[in-house]
Structure formats: structure tokens, C-alpha cells
Structure 1
């Protein structure tokens, strides 16, 4: 599936930062460094032992040769020493990096391997305590180093943040899974295995193991790794939509979302990690169809049961090994005990095994059946209880707390009982907040927690207690702000307690009201200069918004559901979540009997906009036509403008230019400033078709000026593309290319893949004259085609004219190059990806 290359190359050729550390001991710290490097728009090179195709030493040596910065992160461990070797891989990497600028970070530790201490002796390094602190240090230090030692990278625009499908930060180190990792790496990198499924009960550690395995083998997938979480998906029909959201693929109501996903993946050589598949166990055919369409993709799935597809390899995840004797050395070396000690030190840094506590910790591990999540929850109690007291609680209370079903499997019942025990140890105020936090579907920040909590409570202090108990996780969001989450198993328990306590309705009402307030706060910004920031914020809150919409509709309140959709409509269509928005709007219209006429007009308008950007012009025209009288009667000028713009386009397509101009003029008069920018590009398109080039140019200049005033990237993209059409129609290819390159750079910087594909295809056409570098033109065309999906193309067709081809057609290009050279160039272009394709179009090099 992934051919072995004779030369080992890092996945990206921008400034590369080699990160050296032990794999399992410092997993969270490695993720912190990765985050810091990504935020600086550089490429982390994370060697992972056990991947295929090349001996590990050859791989990290090759990676080091291609890196420009070395970061070493060290804790207690000296690292693994291979048979026959004198040095660990950790020290070998350090020595080989002697010619690179080196940044060294050492974690505070009571004990350090003497060999590591000797290696660090005499070096200048910075110390840290927590992963978040390390991330800040690395980001600051690398930024200073770049300013002193490197020029700014020019290979292409930075990838936008946050990256869809990015692997989440590891919440805990991975302990005792070395053999599992080696086995999984072998499976996942086997060409004959398109699907590997990790199975096991909740809390067994499937997700954490899958994340570590994926990170280990990711460097050998040229298009990298993508992560999709299905925990919030409630039906098989929504799996394609969830995959599209997770991958950042635009959808529409015209084709199934899974078709767009398969189309987007078809040329990729990529590892797709799909978490929590048990939520939608009947969706195996969706995964199967994607893998058939995209033979370069390998799926790594976590589930409580196999997906049951041909060629699937199932890996049952075992519990962590418990000590098989009471010998203190054997107990201390047990993976499960090591995890307990690590989690206990996170709660009480001075915790250590003593002769008195060793046997008690072994008993805890055996009682918890080696379940990692249960062990972590129990270890957090060392703040309050000694290991002996924890044993007493386990013996006396577990199984008596919840009244849960006693026919559950032992491990599943143990986990549930451990969660219940952790819950009962909370103070009453903490339990009340814990219950209410279960309403959040996609995490929350402090303000959101305050919105659903008892108004008289000290939410920050209570949250701190929940984090210390490990029932709530605290993570940094992509924008650097703190965000809180619960594991799905724990959230299920919180919701159960909320229902049993009779507080579900008021908590869900408060949650929905908070989401509506957030949407209304975002609304005035979404089409302005700070729109990207608010769009990213809404992306983080998307699952919560969906939950709130469901609540309003369950309460027979389609008006408030519509208000929430309308306040965020720019988010749905600009971020490409068209299928999702269509579903919400359809449910609102199904309750149209509860809407007044102004709201009915807006609901029809919303449905019309979604049909328009999905290429369903007849349906869109009908919906707009029904909406306009209601919007006019309500005095809703903005709504009227939004409907008249597309209606003007439809009139022009039918050849009724006078009607088109009248409709567009009224749309301009009633619209907001960004809509005025759209007006000028639309009129310019009409004038180009009429041959009125001077007037078209005047309109284009106005469109560009408006885009600068409102700092709206979408308006700017349409203006630059339409200006390129104007230039090429008048025979000025150089000017046309100049506008295409401007638009292409902007589209790439804002992560607009449909626009990137459109601009790349146009540049490829301009560059395919007989005297041009035809192989480069083919690579650009292939790169554009690799980004196209059915919904992407519909989206662009809704706003721009077809590109007027002026270069050689594919058959003529193939004839000039020869079949083999054309095929090689096409294959190379498909593998470029956005940054390198943009670099090729703008500078001629990748």
C-alpha cells in the first residue's frame, strides 16, 4: 500500500525540528513539543521505533541529517540500549545532532538514570515540571532561535490552525505497552492489511494505545495521520458526515458525505485513526467503501467489537499485567503498578513505593483487573487515602455503590464501580457540578461551566477538585485557552446521575441557552476581519451547538433553534458543514406550524442558501422565491439581500440580464458590506460575458477595495479569481497568473481547499502552453484534482464562472510529453499536498 522508498525522507521539507526523548515516559511532553513546533508553523520530526521498512537506527540518522534543529527532552530514563550496542538510541541521537543547534529540556525528577545524568553533565539546559510549561519554553526558545539563525520559510503558506483531524494531546504516559506497540506497528504497516481494529472493554486503554501506535508509524505515511472521534455520533447514517467533519472535508446535500470523504482520500497515502466505532457498529460498509475507493489509506479503528470487514485484522487489547508475586522487585516492575505510581505522583509528587505499601498497591491492581482507567482513578485518591486505605475501600464498597447491573462483565463492572467510588469521594458541591458538566458534548471552558453551574458556587475551585480527582481532564485548546473534557465512559455516568437526580432538564436548558448566547456573540464577527477566530471557536463548540439545537427542537421550540442556526449560518457554509446544517434546517421546517411568518421566511432562506452552495439551483430558486415576500414583509433587508444575490445569478444564467442587474442592485442596496463585495464580483462577471471590459474592470477594483475594507477573505478570493478571468479573456496571461497566485496564496493560508483546487487548476491551464514546462503543469493539475470532491466543485460553481481554458488539453499534453512521463508527472502531482503544490505554483519549486 505504501511503497518503500530508496531514500528515507521526512514527511515535509520545511524547517524541521527533530525531537528526541523516551517514548513512553515522556509521551505527554512529546505532544507538548509537537504542539509548540506546529504553532510556529514548522515540522516536528518524531522518530518512532518499530516502524517498518528500515532499521530504526537508519531511520533516525536519516531524519537527523534532514533536520535543522534538535530538541532533547529528558526525564528519568536513559532509554533502550539495543543488543550489541553501548549507547542508547537517546544518547546516539544526541551525539549525532552535534552540528545542529540544540535545545535541551530536563524534567524535574527525584531519580534519574546515572547514565542519563552523566550525559547531561556539563550541558546547558532548561528545567520544567509540567508539559504545558515545556510547550511555552519550546515555543519561545525556537522562535528566538529562528530569528537568530534562520530566514523565514518560503516554501509555502502556513497550514491553518486548528488542523482538522489532528491527533489529540496524550493525557497520560503510555506504560507497559511496548509489546503491543510493536505488534500494532507491524500490522498497520503491512501492505496487505487495510484495516486494524483494537477491541476491548471500556477503560482498557484502546484509544491511548491506538494514538501511540499511530504516532509511531505516522512518518511512514506520506500524507500523515488523521484522527476522527465518533463518540458523539448516534446513528449509522451520520458516520459519513462525522468523518467529513473530522477530516475537514466540505459536504453538501447533493451527494452522501461518505462520497466526498472517499473522493478526498482517493489519492492519499494516509493513516486514518477512527475512535469509538462501537457507537455505530453497523457502519462497517461505510469504512469498507472508503478503503476500496482509497487504496492508499489504512484505517486503525478502536471499538468494543470488530468492524467485521474482509481483510480486517483484530487486536484484542489486554489489561495491563498485574504482578504475579509479592516480591517487591516484581511488583515495582509490573506495568500496572508503574502506571499506578505515575498517576499517584501526578496527584502527590512525593509518592513512592515503600516496603509497607508495595503489597497494598499490588492488591489494588489485582482488584481492578489491570484496567488502566480504573487504576488512574484509584491512584488519584492518594491525596486523601493511603494505599492500604484504598484497598479497604475497594474491598468494602465497590459493587455496593451503584446498584448497577450485576450481570455486566467483571472488568466493565469494576470500571463502573471505580467511577462511582471516585464520585462518592467528592464533596456534595463537586458532585452537583460533575453531574451538570455531563451535558457538554464537546468539552467546555470555564465560562461554559459557570453557565450551567449553581450560580452561588465557586466553579473554578470545584473544577480544580474534579481535575484532581481525574474525573475531568484539563487540556489546552488550539488557541491556547484552557478547555475541559470527560472521557466518554465517565460522561455517561455523569448523565446517568443527572437524570437520576432530576436535574437533567434545567441543566440542558442552561446549556442550550449558553450556546445561543455564544452564537449571538459570534454573529456580528463571522463575516468580518476577526471572522476566522470566531469560526475556529465555533468549530470547537460544534458538538455543543448540535446538542443545543436538538434540545430546542425536543422542547417544540423551533424558533430558538432557528435563531441559533441563523446566528451561525456563516459558520455552517464557510466551514463546509452543509449536510449538518441541512439536517437542522429540515427539522426546523418540519415544525413550521410553530414558526411565525418572519421566522418561516428565514428558515426558507437558510434552506435556500444551503441548496445554492450544494449546486441544487432549481430547489434554491424555489426556496428563495418563497422566502423573499415573507422577508420583505418583515423588513428583513439582510435576508432579502442574501436571497436576491443568487436569484440575480439565476436570472443571468437564463439570459435575462436586465432582471439580473435589478436583483443584484437591490441586493447591494440592502446588504451588508461584505455582500457589496460579492455584488461587484457578480456584476463584473456579467460585464465580462457582455464584453464590457472597462466596466468589468471598474467593478473588480471596487470588489478588491471592499474586501480590503472588511478584511473578508472569501470576498477577496472571488475578486481575484474573477479578475484573472477578466485578464485571460483579454489575452493577458501574465496578469491573470498574478491574480491567481494572489488568490491561491490566500486560499491556502485560510485552509480553503475548494478554492485552492480551483486556483491550482487555473494556474495549470495557464502554464500548459507548448513552450512551458508541461510536466510542471501536469503536476499542478494533478494536485488540483487530488483536492476536488463533488461538494467542493459544487461550492465553487455557486460563486465563480468556469475557467476559460487557454492551454493544451490533457490529450495534447500527454502526446507532447509521452505517456510514461505524463503518468509520472501526474502521480507526483497527486502526492504534492497543499503547501508543496502552492510552492510549485508560486515559486516553481517544492
Structure 2
């Protein structure tokens, strides 16, 4: 049976509409026109292209421009992974997974999940600043090349990766004017100097005399872009003649000194030395102190870098001065706060200065203390009771996201120095982030690392053990969750830590339920409720009430389950904790579905869906979409069911959730079988069963498995399908199943290019409806409407709603 092309790609684009994560260019890109053209051809023809060259030569800027212009060639986008501060292969994999939105899977290496997700995709991964981990980068790239045949890599490094098939491009310096050049402004280096000089001083003009000095500067700097930008930033303070003279003095020193380093490295070091030497003392102090950050905002810089020798109130002006001198880069705005960073070459230079100053330990401690404050604010906001609105809780979550690389640096610095207490505090505080962001394996790694160190604080170790048990539970390592949870509970009881005791009892109750020890679970949960009510801990009480609902549901007491869930929701709504509300609604929805309360289940799943769309947690969002889809099918809204189940399926596939993929395929197969598409339904059900089996999950109780005959053969055939083929089959079945069955009622005229659902949406757009109005009319989500509109544009070659409306008008019967 023929299938429409690129259906899976269209769904993936709907679920994750962004096709790149490249930063905005904050100034003009100058020169390298011929290089850029050649490199774009190379990236189309070669799967690994490495830009090599010394620091400051412009590798990163060139790579970002190539990636931006190559986006159209990669249907699944281009994705930047900054690797300057990673140290291990695991961190490299995590950075790539984070960039493209892949979630960890239970009991599986993230690298395997990443490979499965990337296998069907055509995308470009930009791996920036790889030289210090080049061996690990090469290993990761080699592994993905073998499995993911349409994934390409653009690497920047001071040395090649040496993976098979790599094409190495040695990034040259910018062209410099020859002595006596008739028109120096035609050369790249001079153009760059003039552009940056005008950005630094808006009244800067080019005169013949200045042009001669600019040419000398560019020749002296050997066409190195970073050096030219640093020199051009000085035109506000010095004439170009003065800049040329001072640089000339600096380079004379090079000819008489040690020349063991390559010439261009000496040149760049000289110009950075020169630029650094022209800074005031306060600017030099701030520059070296800023090297402790991966990126920062003003408030963070003031808290870490300010002291008696560098007053906080001066730091803003000093940062502005360093930006003006091209030593600090504006990274963009996050939550109304500007963020800044150092170019890696400058950061490395500044870090050396920090080490030589004797201040490094003090600055690292201040940095870690600020990260501890941020992480512990997150932990406090997560469990705080009333008096805090959800936007306030969510604000600190965004700040943790922005500073997560700084938090990793604080963890790493603590681990290297065996600072167990501070490391454990960070782990305890970051547990909510690791849980909700799907980074449970990383959380487990750091917590285990610090628990392996000696520590005298038994209460803190108990807190960390309890949080480690929660991570283990989410990873489905139930035995470890029970074991370390019990040990953590014992220590937390001894230290009279009621919040950690309540958390431990909640986790252990869930492990009891998993082992069918319902009496033990009931006793633990009753203790949690009594404890949390006595100390005023609504967060843990709400979680316990929800778990009581799940327990009652397992025992078949649906009325009690619903009552417990209602109690949990009342508590969690009372403290405006929407994440907790969303998780509770999912449980209540499943209980309502089990008891046949379709209206109640639909209400729960849809409200949970709204919450999860705002928060953005992929696993929970996929579960909500699947829940709405299942209920829609039971209510007879087949087209709507297919819409939601298809979106859930695509989201699970794009984020590496194999169990979610298998469940989604089985749900679609079940609906398709009811519609009479029994052959393809049997094949798809077999694919779902095969995927569960290969992934180590037990068979589903609801599986469709014909006993004999042709359908059984199709089931077996489906069982051997690759995941991508099976998902394509599922999406095709959903598209076919949306079409109305044959009817005596004459259908409106339509192009056979569009599916019936697409034509229906096109008619409503032709009447002037917005996407939201169309969604309300057809009882589907606005994002589903947007996906169909995108399909209509693609099929008809349109790019506007006006064209769709005109096309519909032309096909309306005339009076």
C-alpha cells in the first residue's frame, strides 16, 4: 500500500517546530565569501567536516555561518553542541542529546537511545571547541556515523578527529593587503577592522592615512580575526596610528623571545597580552575572575567577582568596558536579564591569569556558593507551601536551566577536591531539576560519586540517599530504590528530618506497591499523611494523597482512589504547584479511564496536557497526549484520537521513549482494527510487540495477536519491522483512518492532493477562521491544525493562508 512521503518528518516538525538552536549573530560576518561557498558544497558531500586552526582564527564563527546557511539542506535541522567545558565521553553524549531534545531511557545507555533517535533523521550536528576531548569526540562521532546514515557533523577543533571519511579544512587567516595595495579596502582583514571600528566608534571614518595604518595593523596581526577585532575595539581610545605603533612594539619583542610556539599562536598571544595590558587594574581583575563562568548575568558577576578590591557597584561599567573592547561577548537575553560570555580563547587566557593571581580558589568557592544558593532555592521552591505563585516557582527553574553549565562546573570542582558535603548539598538540591528535565542518569552519577566519599554529616548523607532512591525509582531500578531508600530513611529519622522522611516513605510505598505489598504501602502512606499534617508540609502530603489514590486504583477501589486524588489536587492547587497538579491529574485520569468514566478521564488528561505543554516535559507530555487520544477513540471521535495519538507517537520517537512508541503503535493499531483495517493493524500490533520484546519490556495485556492464518503471518512480519518503518506505518494508518467512510451523501469537491481532514481545514481557513477557531470547531488542538496547515502548504506549494483561501474560493460551486 503506497504511503504519503515524509509523513513522519511532518509530524516531527510539528512536535518540535524549531529546526536549529544557533545563537543570533550580534555583529556582521565579514569576508570568507569564497571559503563559505566551498564549505557549503563540502558539507553537502561529506558527513564529517572539521574546521581546524589556531585559537582566534574564526573557526566557531565560520561554523555557525555555514550551519545557518545549510539549514535548508537538513530537513531535521542544524544543532549546536558547545563542548568547551566537557571532560568525558558521557558529557559529550549528554550535550548532543540535550541539544536535540532526547530524553534518557530507563536501564539503557543514553548513547544507545541517542543513536536510535538519530537513525532516521537528516540533520547536522555542530560540535564546537573539541580539541581537549578530541579522542572522545572521535569515538562518539564514529559510533553515530555507522548507525545514523543521514547525520552529518561539522566540528571545530585545533586538530582533526581522524575519523574515517573526515574532510579537514584548515581555516586560513583573513586576506591582508600587500604593501602598496591599490585598494586595501577590498581585503577581508581591512574590511573587518573598519566594520568593528565603526561599531566601536560610530563617527569613525576611513582616510588614506588611516587606511595605511590599518593595513599595517592587519599585516602585523597576520589576518587573525580575533586580534583584528581586539585592535579595532581600541579606536575609541587610540588613533589607528597609535594602535599600529603599540602593536609594532609588541611584535618586536616576539622576534627576540622564545619562538617555540607556532607563529600565529605567538601573534595572537601577543595581541591579547597587548589588549590586556591596556586595561585598567579593575578591568584586569574582573576579566580574570569572569573566567570561572561558562556564561553569566550581571547579578551573578556582582556576587562572585565583587569584593573590597572590586566593588560591586563598579562591575556593570567594567563589563560594558570589556564588551566595548571585544573581550566580553553579549550572549543574549534570558528572562529579562542580559547574559554574557568569554570567547574560549579569551577565557583560557583569563583563566591562566586567574591561576597566576592566587585568587582562583577564592573565586571558585564564591562561584560554588552561588550555585548552591541557586540550587537550594530551586529545591525550596519545589516543596514550599502556600504563599508562592507558580510563576515564581517556575522562574527559578528557568534560572537553573540558564546556569546549568555553571552548576556542572561547581559539581566537578567539588568532586575533584573531594568536597563531599558541598557536592551532596548540590545533589540534594538539584534532584527536582534532574527528575523533571529527564536527566536522571546524570543525577545518579553525581550523587553516587559524592556518596562514595567520606562524610561526617550522616543527616546529609541520608538526604542524598533518599533523593538517589527517587532517581532509581524513575529509572525503574526498583530494587536499588528500595535498598538505598531504606538506608536513607533510617538516617533521616535519626536526624529528625521530617521532609526527607516523608519523601522516603512515599518512595518506599511505591516500591511496596510494585511488589504487591499493599499493606506495607498503606501503612507508610498513612504515616506520611500524619507526619506532614503535623509539621505543615503540604507538598509531601499532596504527593502521599496521590499515591494513596494510585494504591486504591490498583486494588480496584475506584471511588476511594478518586477521593484520594481529589484531596491531593485540593492540596496542590492550594499551593499553586502546577507540576504536581499535572502529575496527579495523569494518575486520576488513568483511574477514571479504568472505571469507564470517559468524561472524567478526558477532563483530567486535557488539563494535564495544558500544564505539560507549558512546562515542556516530553515524557509527561507524551503520556497526556496518549491519554486524550485513547479517550477520544472510546468516545467515537476517531479523527481526533488519531491526531493526539500521532503527536504522542512522534514525540516519543523524537525523544527516544521506546515504551511510549510501542504503546502508541498499539493504540493506533487497536483503533485501525475497529475500523476494519485488520491487515495493517495486525502488522502494526506485531511491530509494537517486537519493540517491547527487544527493549526488555513485558508484553502488553492489551496486545492484538491473531492466533493463526494470514493475520498471524502479518503479525510476525510486523514483529521484525525496524522502528522507523513501524512508526511510518502507524502514521499512515492514522492518516487513512481519519478519512470518512464511503457515504451516500455527496462529498464537497476537493483536490485529491489533500486528505479529507486537510481539505476540511482548508475550507475553514477559506472562510477566514484562525487556527484556534478551526481547532475549536473540529475539537482538535491548535498545534494539530498548524501541522495540517503546514502539510497543505507543502502539497499545494503555497506559503500563505491567503493562497489557501483563494484556492478554496476557486473550487467553490458558483451560484
1:687 maps onto 2:543 in alignment? no
2:498 aligned partner: 637
1:222 aligned partner: 75
Give the CA deviation at 1:565. 2.5
Instruction: Determine which of 209, 218, 225 is the counterpart of 2:62.
Output: 209
Distance 1:786 1:237, change over 3 A: closer
2:293 aligned partner: 440
**Inter-partner Cα distance in structure 2 for 1:423 and 1:716:** 53
The SS at the match of 2:450 is helix
1:261 maps onto 2:261 in alignment? no
2:466 aligned partner: 605
Give the CA deviation at 1:624. 0.5
CA RMSD of aligned residues (A): 3.8
**Inter-partner Cα distance in structure 2 for 1:781 and 1:534:** 28
2:403 aligned partner: 541
Instruction: Determine which of 413, 423, 442 is the counterpart of 1:561.
Output: 423
**Inter-partner Cα distance in structure 2 for 1:760 and 1:705:** 24
**Inter-partner Cα distance in structure 1 for 2:468 and 2:252:** 52
Structure 2 unaligned runs (5+)? Answer: 385-389, 685-724, 736-771, 790-815
1:789 maps onto 2:656 in alignment? yes
8 Å contact kept, 2:424–2:461: no
Distance 1:844 1:356, change over 3 A: closer
1:552-581 Cα deviation digits (max 9, x unpaired): 344443212222322332122222232332
Instruction: Determine which of 144, 147, 156 is the counterpart of 1:290.
Output: 144
Give the CA deviation at 1:227. 1.6
**Inter-partner Cα distance in structure 2 for 1:399 and 1:559:** 52
Which aligned pairs between 1:720-799 and structure 2 lie closer than 5 A? 720-733=585-598, 735-766=600-631, 772-773=638-639, 779-780=646-647, 782-789=649-656
1:591 aligned partner: 453
Give the CA deviation at 1:12. 11
1:614 aligned partner: 475
Give the CA deviation at 1:823. 7.0
The SS at the match of 1:586 is helix
Give the CA deviation at 1:515. 2.2
In the superposition, the TM-score normalised over structure 2's length comes to 0.76
Which aligned pairs between 1:428-467 and structure 2 lie closer than 5 A? 428-457=281-310, 458-467=314-323
1:20-44 Cα deviation digits (max 9, x unpaired): xxxxxxxxxxxxxxxxxxxxxxxxx
1:39-62 Cα deviation digits (max 9, x unpaired): xxxxxxxxxxxxxxxxxxxxxxxx
8 Å contact kept, 1:778–1:825: no
Flag the structure with larger Rg. Answer: 2
Which aligned pairs between 1:195-594 and structure 2 lie closer than 5 A? 195-251=48-104, 254-283=107-136, 284-328=138-182, 330-398=183-251, 400=253, 406-457=259-310, 458-527=314-383, 529=390, 530-592=392-454, 594=455
8 Å contact kept, 1:744–1:756: yes
2:769 aligned partner: none
2:583 aligned partner: 718
In the superposition, the TM-score normalised over structure 1's length comes to 0.73
1:628 aligned partner: 489
Return 534-543 or 399-408, whichever deviates more.
Answer: 399-408
**Inter-partner Cα distance in structure 2 for 1:305 and 1:172:** 28
The SS at the match of 2:292 is coil
1:304-360 Cα deviation digits (max 9, x unpaired): 2222223433333222111235345x2012111111011111221111221111111
8 Å contact kept, 1:757–1:787: no
Distance 1:492 1:762, change over 3 A: same
Return 340-349 or 466-475, whichever deviates more.
Answer: 466-475
Distance 1:825 1:782, change over 3 A: farther
1:815 maps onto 2:676 in alignment? no
Distance 1:401 1:642, change over 3 A: farther
**Inter-partner Cα distance in structure 2 for 1:387 and 1:277:** 36
**Inter-partner Cα distance in structure 2 for 1:323 and 1:10:** 50
Distance 1:343 1:404, change over 3 A: farther
1:368-407 Cα deviation digits (max 9, x unpaired): 1111111101111112222222222222113748999632
Structure 1 unaligned runs (5+)? Answer: 14-154
Instruction: Determine which of 634, 640, 662 is the counterpart of 2:523.
Output: 662
1:653 maps onto 2:503 in alignment? no
The alignment of Structure 1 onto Structure 2 pairs a total of residues equal to 685
1:512-561 Cα deviation digits (max 9, x unpaired): 22222333344322356222211110121122222223333444432122
The SS at the match of 1:308 is coil
Structure with bigger helix share is 2
Give the CA deviation at 1:626. 0.7
**Inter-partner Cα distance in structure 2 for 1:829 and 1:480:** 45
Distance 1:588 1:223, change over 3 A: same
Distance 1:511 1:322, change over 3 A: same
